[in-house]
Amino acid sequence: MILVTGGAGYIGSHCALSLIEQGYEVVVFDNLSTGHKQTVETIKNITGSNFNFINGNLLNPEDLDETFSSRNIDAVIHFAAFSQVAESVKDPAKYYRNNICGTLNLLESMRKYNVNKIVFSSTAATYGEPVRIPIDETHPQNPINPYGFSKLVIEKIMDDYDRAYGIKSVRLRYFNVAGADAKGRVGEWHDPETHLIPNILKSTFANSKTFQMFGTDYDTKDGTCVRDYINIEDLISAHILALKYLEAGGKTDFFNLGTKSGNTVKEVFALCEKVTGKQIQVETKPRREGDPAQLVADNTKARQILNWKPDKTLEDSIKSAYLWEKKLQENLKSNY
Ligand code: UDP
């Protein structure tokens, strides 16, 4: 059985669904602080008996004890974390306590119950301001906000837990995750939403605020920031490969997950107009604090060692995100 922490959230829910569809038994552990009970219900309805849900908090060791003691857990995929950069600057204590202490509790339970494999959702934010593009895994890690630092500390802790206790980890450093399940069953649902694609798409619905484009004076081809948008289903396929890699006795390692090509905010905006068939209102705003001009992944290592091949386009991601967003807006209207 695979323990998926944060499985009621955006990335974790896609992973839980995909694991079950590939024949794994899954237990989702989530305190529903940012994840949604409706997402858990959706997964339950689709998958039935191969799915268990625990409403638990990583900061409560008793919740973890209950989870590990009553199940035969083979490996952990760990998503549960706070992930908003701006919030982490305002309230670092929240990020250090939840992300770092929560992961320490999880690792302690793994030690106690002899579980020695973990796939961890890390981030390109561990690199900080890029000194070269594309960013490969040997790029210096100098995070510039508490969110990125919390993830880097966890990566270091995982190295020590391998050396001392033999817990093997794969850390997946995400670039910009985009899109939703192609069938529209689960998708991105943050409140407040801070990410580019959902914010552009949301602005096309009645009573939504106008899309704000942050920063048009960067040193890039059209003045807006360049990001590497990796499709959620491609991202999840890397998690399953990472799990299989650990199951096959793979050593502790870390990989970038991105496409190796970047798109500007204006390019993403234009593609959203194409996919929705709407002319979208936009307000130009000053730069958002802490946004580097460019972030693009070198994904060679994941291709070579995990045998990973991302194959979805940015347009695929926007199409699936739009399908999901339409459904979410409908559901929210009917008190979902
Ligand atoms: N962005 C924007 N308006 C928004 C949200 C994001 O212009 O409502 C820009 C943001 O400044 C950055 C890019 O879109 O240049 C990607 O931002 P996002 O928050 O999606 O991801 P990040 O790169 O911060 O992880």
Which pLDDT score is estimated for 202? 97
Q: Within the chain, which residue ranges are assigned CATH 3.40.50.720?
A: 2-180+229-259
Looking at residue 224, its amino acid is: T
196-225+261-295+314-334 CATH choice from 2.60.40.790, 3.90.25.10, 3.10.20.440, 3.30.420.40: 3.90.25.10
Ligand 1 near 227 CB (within 6 A):
yes
**320 secondary structure, DSSP code:** H
**34 secondary structure, DSSP code:** S
For atom 5 of ligand 1, the residue with the nearest CA is 196
- The architecture (CATH level 2) of 2-180+229-259 comes to 3-Layer(aba) Sandwich (3.40)
Ligand 1 near 287 CB (within 6 A):
no
Which pLDDT score is estimated for 275? 98
For atom 7 of ligand 1, the residue with the nearest CA is 213
Q: How far apart, in whole angstroms, are the C-alpha atoms of residue 155 and residue 170?
A: 9
- Residue 196 CA to ligand 1 center (angstroms) comes to 5
Helix/strand/coil for 105: helix
What residues are labeled active site? 147
Helix, strand and coil in the chain, % to nearest 5: 45, 20, 40
- Residue 33 CA to ligand 1 center (angstroms) comes to 23
Give the burial string for 295-320 (b: 16+ CB within 10 Å, else e): bbbbbebbeebbebebebebebbbbb
Which pLDDT score is estimated for 335? 74
Q: Which of 265, 271, 289 has the most ligand 1 atoms within 8 A of CB, as the residue to mutate? A: 265
Q: Is 6:35 a contact under the CB 8 Å cutoff?
A: yes
Which pLDDT score is estimated for 60? 98
- Residue 185 CA to ligand 1 center (angstroms) comes to 25
Which pLDDT score is estimated for 10? 98
Q: In sequence order, what DSSP letters do the residues of 154-198 get, joined into one string? A: HHHHHHHHHHHH--EEEEEEE-EEE---TTSSS----SS---HHH
Residues sharing a CB contact under 8 Å with residue 79, sequence separation 6 or more, in sequence order: 4, 5, 6, 7, 9, 11, 12, 15, 121
Helix/strand/coil for 48: helix
**How many CB atoms sit inside 10 A of residue 63's CB?**
18
Q: Within the chain, which residue ranges are assigned CATH 3.90.25.10?
A: 196-225+261-295+314-334
For atom 13 of ligand 1, the residue with the nearest CA is 196
Q: From the alpha carbon of 85, which atom of ligand 1 is closest?
A: 24
For atom 14 of ligand 1, the residue with the nearest CA is 196
Which pLDDT score is estimated for 235? 99
- Residue 58 CA to ligand 1 center (angstroms) comes to 29
For atom 25 of ligand 1, the residue with the nearest CA is 176
- Residue 85 CA to ligand 1 center (angstroms) comes to 11
Ligand 1 near 263 CB (within 6 A):
no
pLDDT along the chain (336 residues), means of 10: 98 98 97 97 90 97 97 98 96 98 98 98 97 98 97 98 98 98 96 96 93 98 98 98 98 98 98 98 95 96 98 98 96 84
Give the dihedral sign, CA 30/32/33/38: positive
Beta bridge partners, 135, equal: 297
Q: How far apart, in whole angstroms, are the C-alpha atoms of residue 1 and residue 26?
A: 6
Q: From the alpha carbon of 268, which atom of ligand 1 is closest?
A: 14
Between the CA of residue 88 and those of 27, 145, 174, 198, what are the distances in Å? 28, 7, 18, 21
Helix/strand/coil for 323: helix
Q: How far apart, in whole angstroms, are the C-alpha atoms of residue 50 and residue 60?
A: 25
Ligand 1 near 176 CB (within 6 A):
yes
Residue 313 tokens, joined: 């386009």
- Residue 55 CA to ligand 1 center (angstroms) comes to 31
Ligand 1 near 198 CB (within 6 A):
no
**Helix H or strand E segment including 119:** strand 117-123
